[in-house]
Chain A
Amino acid sequence: MIEAQILQLFQWFWNLFGLWDWVWGTFGFVWPVVWTLVKIVIIVAPIMLGVAYLTYVERKVLGYMQDRLGPNRVGYYGLLQPIADGLKLLMKEIIIPTGSNKFLFMLAPVLCIAPALAAWAVVPFAQGLVLANVNAGMLYILTMTSLGIYGIIIAGWSSNSKYAFLGAIRSAAQIVSYELAMGFALVTVLLAAQSMNLVDIVQGQQKGFGLLGWYFIPLFPMFVVYFIAGVAETNRAPFDLAEDESVIVAGFHTEYSGMGFALFFLGEYANMILIAALTSIFFLGGWLSPLPQAWVPTAPGVGLLLGNGIHWMLAKMSFVLFLFLWLRATFPRYRYDQLMRLGWKVLIPLTLVWVVVVAAWMQTPFWMW
């Protein structure tokens, strides 16, 4: 729809010179590529901005939780701090260790951030606001989140450093373990929604009774498991064993400096935002309003605010991101064996049981979702 309008604008512009037919005939075939690139930029640019300001919010929230002020020197309330940090990292010298495998050392940060951004292709932000409405969207998401591990393993190995390698090994074992719990938690969502398409999953949560129709109510244990597994997948506190600074210096990115380190940082935060978006879509109703459709007034301003829309999606994502920061401020780091025990002996059996429970529940008349 917007695409057609933009094309019309171009047509009007070139028709001023009477060249539209020639221009469209010659360059028309690249238009789908250009339009897809434009859409990618429209998605990636806000994510990058979100990542930058998530670091600021994290430092502010942690600061207030620990009775400090957090960053407050650069700009009003320290609002320019992320820009200053980015500039600092850009200016820093990139050091490549002599004993490292140079090609893989440079490739690793790219492999870390690429899947974190690629996964956004199928994430719907509002009705009709999605880059690719794929039927197997949920599988695609699982695949992309499981690929992020390559950046970490390759970084750890190519650095040729003991700390980096230990961090990489820890992270690989952790991510492979928690992926299972994550996958099974999503199986219950799949059962409830009867679709792998993320748009259909959100629409399946619109039952006419608002907030009560969302899947976090029947699937509450899975909501918790998915969130915990998401925290573990993104290597965030209290599961940040991969960069356990008191034991293995900085883990897998010990040897990275400047932009190499910045890319790992961006990847981690982009993954956090992704997990927040997915939690909102799978369990918290995506862009749906918590009010039942019938209660929403038709007045123009209020109706838009209380009705379904991208602002609800962003609000839910912010809430989940706040949970991430809250966890980090509250809990001490897990010990490695405790982490593995939680993953294999608590979360996975719980998800397996709940898959059976939901499947049986859906056969009874008591299933209302």
Chain B
Amino acid sequence: MIGIETVVFFLFAALSVFAAVRVITARNPVHAALFLVLAFFSMAGIWLLLEAEFLAITLVLVYVGAVMVLFLFVVMMLDIDLVQLREGFWRWFPFGVVLAVAMVGEMVWVLGGRQTAETGANIAKHAADYSNTKELGRLIYTDYAYPFELAAVLLLIAIVAAIALTLRHRRTAKKQDPSKQVLVKSADRLRIVSVTSSKKVSATDGAKTDQVKS
């Protein structure tokens, strides 16, 4: 008898492998990005099965909810010419083969090696009131405080660098200062001109003074 968890695991595993393959085989880049979203979702499902609900929800929140939205944003605006993309295929093929072999070798070494042989053991389930989020938070801010802060500083550097690299001050750019707009008084914009009406005017001049008044 196969437990329902095993069935769900294989369902999500198959879905994520399928989605991952489609990410690199889909012709349309928008479809590829959407398959990547599907892959994230199925991975989140697998993490939920592992009782890592905080990580699973954060994966969807951060990667699906924010990162992939920006990805799609860019990909949709690109005008990608598939023929041009394929041009260099054979030139880069050997390089790709070397990378693929290295990756497969690493994965075999990690997954098939002795280090992970113990993961087959049964891990005790936690009680229903166990809060994954709380435990994770406690660990991050006590035992792993320094690595965590280091990662945060790295991210901050990345943010500053991204802004510094892309920020261009254009002299010609027009901008508004809303605080100045709010503080404007009627006296700054409107000048009341008193026009003497005693002067004798001709028909053409009369039209002009009317315009000034209005």
Chain A residues, Cβ within 8 Å of B61: 139, 142-143, 146
Interface residues of A (CB under 8 A from B): 104, 134-136, 139-140, 142-143, 146-147, 149-150, 153-154, 157, 165, 169, 172-173, 175-176, 179, 196, 337-338, 341
Number of A-B contacts (CB under 8 A): 65
Q: Are B69 and A135 interface neighbours, CB within 8 A?
A: no
Q: Are B132 and A136 interface neighbours, CB within 8 A?
A: yes
Docked complex: B172-210 residues within 8 A CB-CB of A: 176, 178
Chain A residues, Cβ within 8 Å of B15: none
Chain B residues, Cβ within 8 Å of A143: 57, 60-61, 64-65
- A137, closest chain B residue (CB): B57
Chain A residues, Cβ within 8 Å of B77: 169
Known A142-B65, A146-B66, A338-B178; further 8 A-B contacts with Cβ < 8 A: A139-B54, A139-B61, A143-B61, A146-B64, A146-B65, A153-B72, A169-B76, A196-B133
Known contacts A136-B57, A139-B58, A153-B76; decide if A172 and B178 are in contact (CB<8 Å).
no
A208 vs chain B, min Cβ distance (A):
25
Chain A residues, Cβ within 8 Å of B30: 104, 157
Contact check: which of A135, A147, A154, A341 meets B65 at CB < 8 Å?
A: A147
- B30, closest chain A residue (CB): A157
B30 vs chain A, min Cβ distance (A):
6
Contact size range, B: 20 to 34
Per-residue CB contact flags for chain B residues 61-103 toward chain A (1 = under 8 Å, else 0) read 1001110011011001100000000000000000000000000
A241 vs chain B, min Cβ distance (A):
16
Q: How far is the CA of A327 from the CA of B31 in the complex (A)?
A: 38
Interface residues of B (CB under 8 A from A): 30, 34, 37, 53-54, 57-58, 60-61, 64-66, 69-70, 72-73, 76-77, 129, 131-134, 176, 178
Chain B residues, Cβ within 8 Å of A139: 54, 57-58, 61, 133
Chain A residues, Cβ within 8 Å of B58: 139
Q: Are A176 and B54 interface neighbours, CB within 8 A?
A: no
Chain B residues, Cβ within 8 Å of A157: 30, 72, 76
Q: Are B69 and A153 interface neighbours, CB within 8 A?
A: yes
Q: How far is the CA of A136 from the CA of B34 in the complex (A)?
A: 26
Q: Are B69 and A176 interface neighbours, CB within 8 A?
A: yes
Contact check: which of A135, A176, A341 meets B133 at CB < 8 Å?
A: A135
Chain B residues, Cβ within 8 Å of A134: 53
Contact check: which of B37, B54, B176 meets A136 at CB < 8 Å?
A: B54
Q: How far is the CA of A146 from the CA of B73 in the complex (A)?
A: 15
Say whether chain A's binding surface is mostly helix, strand, loop, or mixed: helix
B82 vs chain A, min Cβ distance (A):
16
Chain A residues, Cβ within 8 Å of B69: 149-150, 153, 172, 175-176
Chain B residues, Cβ within 8 Å of A173: 73
A254 vs chain B, min Cβ distance (A):
16
Q: Are B73 and A153 interface neighbours, CB within 8 A?
A: yes
- B176, closest chain A residue (CB): A337
Known contacts A143-B60, A157-B30, A341-B178; decide if A135 and B131 are in contact (CB<8 Å).
yes
Subset of 5 A-B contacts with CB under 8 Å: A135-B134, A136-B133, A146-B61, A173-B73, A196-B133
Chain B residues, Cβ within 8 Å of A147: 60, 64-65
Chain A residues, Cβ within 8 Å of B65: 142-143, 146-147, 149, 179
Chain A residues, Cβ within 8 Å of B129: 135
Q: How far is the CA of A134 from the CA of B60 in the complex (A)?
A: 16
A144 vs chain B, min Cβ distance (A):
9
Chain A residues, Cβ within 8 Å of B34: 104, 154
Q: How far is the CA of A196 from the CA of B132 in the complex (A)?
A: 11
Chain B residues, Cβ within 8 Å of A175: 69
A137 vs chain B, min Cβ distance (A):
10
Q: Are A176 and B66 interface neighbours, CB within 8 A?
A: yes
Chain B residues, Cβ within 8 Å of A142: 61, 65
Chain B residues, Cβ within 8 Å of A149: 65, 69
Chain A residues, Cβ within 8 Å of B176: 337
- B60, closest chain A residue (CB): A143
Q: Are A179 and B66 interface neighbours, CB within 8 A?
A: yes
Q: Are A136 and B53 interface neighbours, CB within 8 A?
A: yes
Q: How far is the CA of A338 from the CA of B176 in the complex (A)?
A: 10
Q: How far is the CA of A139 from the CA of B72 in the complex (A)?
A: 23
B166 vs chain A, min Cβ distance (A):
16
Chain A residues, Cβ within 8 Å of B73: 153, 169, 172-173
Q: Are A165 and B60 interface neighbours, CB within 8 A?
A: no
Q: Are B66 and A135 interface neighbours, CB within 8 A?
A: no
Contact check: which of B37, B70, B133 meets A150 at CB < 8 Å?
A: B37
Chain A residues, Cβ within 8 Å of B72: 153, 157, 172
Q: How far is the CA of A140 from the CA of B44 in the complex (A)?
A: 12
Chain A residues, Cβ within 8 Å of B178: 338, 341
Chain A residues, Cβ within 8 Å of B37: 150
Q: How far is the CA of A175 from the CA of B72 in the complex (A)?
A: 14
B1 vs chain A, min Cβ distance (A):
12
Q: How far is the CA of A234 from the CA of B89 in the complex (A)?
A: 44
Chain A residues, Cβ within 8 Å of B131: 135-136
Q: How far is the CA of A149 from the CA of B66 in the complex (A)?
A: 10
B15 vs chain A, min Cβ distance (A):
17
Q: How far is the CA of A149 from the CA of B76 in the complex (A)?
A: 15
